[in-house]
Amino acid sequence: MCPAGIALIGALCSVLQSPAGPERPADSPWRVAVVFEVKGGRRTYRGVVPNPGALPATAPVRPDQSDGLPGAAERHYEIWYSRDGETVGFRHYPGRGEIAAVSADGVVKGIGPDDGTAARLFGRMRRTTGPAPPPPRNPEASIACPGSRPDRIEWLCRGSDFIAVGRVIGIWRNAYSPINGAGPEQHTVALFAVEEFLLERYSLSPPVLKVYQVGGYLGRGFALHGCPLLNVGDRYIVFVYSPAKHFVKHKLPYIEGTFPPYTGKLADWDEVSAHYGERSSVLLTLAGTMPMDPSVSWMPWKGEALIGVPERTAINRIRAVVEKLRPLPREQND
């Protein structure tokens, strides 16, 4: 069984023995729509809409329509609807009055007239899904955050499945671990709007990540030393790991784990794990890059710095390392 206080990746020790749980209802409501403006190939976060309603109606693209489809280079808005375990995307073209259904890699799968959906969503946008919660009140200072602490950019990149620049726009879930447990162990999933991917190891991802972290705000709160939680509203570079890409060939409907005496759901397969503790994220500020937890040192560190430098410098250093690592290893999980 998995010991108490471990990260999401550690909880996989019980997944292989777990029976399949109930499927997510096919008609479960979409919880948010995340809106970006795309101009000149650059994605800018514009807002999030809680409870956005039904998906826009589109018709499958016919072969004879392919030449007339709008391209990604044309100014447009991306609207990504998300619910537990699933995220789907659309493009809204203001100049055409059309909405297109798109995959994560930008392939147009359907297209239809804008029936006013975009205007309704834009009118309800907010910067975050809600206010930032206060820090956990009961940090477990004697329990160290699990996971390794890479001491150079290369090792941060090698161990990550996604490296992304963006903003925390809300709390997707704060629950006990597992969600049918009674604590004190708990987890928080942050909703992260991606402006730019620096690494997508296995496949292209929607620009909305659900980042699973140890700790939370329920009851007296729960936090481990060296496991700071992402703060709603702040911008970060995140280095995250995708459990769906590792270990398990026949995926269950959700990730199940055991924190004695409870066994149950820990996470959905589309969630990613911040498994490097305080080195899983770099806080981006106008003054430059900072540790996500100023009380926890990044030392020892070798090679070029990621902390205390301008944002673009940090991004360029990561890009240079990622280029040196190509071709990246691919998943062998049929």
Q: 10-residue block means of pLDDT along the chain (334 residues)?
A: 38 39 65 95 95 93 63 84 96 88 88 91 96 72 74 93 97 94 89 96 88 89 84 96 72 81 90 90 96 83 93 97 77 38
User: Is 227 part of a structural domain of the chain?
Assistant: yes
Domain around 140: 8-22+129-325
The Cα–Cα gap between 264 and 267 comes to 9
Tell me, what's the pLDDT at 142? 55
User: Is 332 part of a structural domain of the chain?
Assistant: no
Do 52 and 80 lie in one domain? The reply is yes
Is this prediction's pTM over 0.85? yes
**At which of 105, 124, 143 does a domain end?**
124
The H or E element spanning position 315 is helix 311-325
3 state SS of 52: coil
Do 193 and 290 lie in one domain? The reply is yes
Do 220 and 239 lie in one domain? The reply is yes
User: Is 272 part of a structural domain of the chain?
Assistant: yes
**At which of 124, 142, 164 does a domain end?**
124
3 state SS of 15: helix
**At which of 124, 148, 167 does a domain end?**
124
Number of domains in the chain: 2
The CATH number linked to 259 is: 2.40.50.120
Amino acid at 237: I
E strand spans, the chain = 32-39, 42-50, 59-60, 76-83, 86-93, 98-102, 108-113, 139-144, 162-176, 186-200, 208-214, 223-225, 235-240, 255-259, 262-267, 271-273, 281-285, 288-291
Do 212 and 71 lie in one domain? The reply is no
Do 138 and 240 lie in one domain? The reply is yes
User: Is 3 part of a structural domain of the chain?
Assistant: no
Do 89 and 204 lie in one domain? The reply is no
User: Is 141 part of a structural domain of the chain?
Assistant: yes
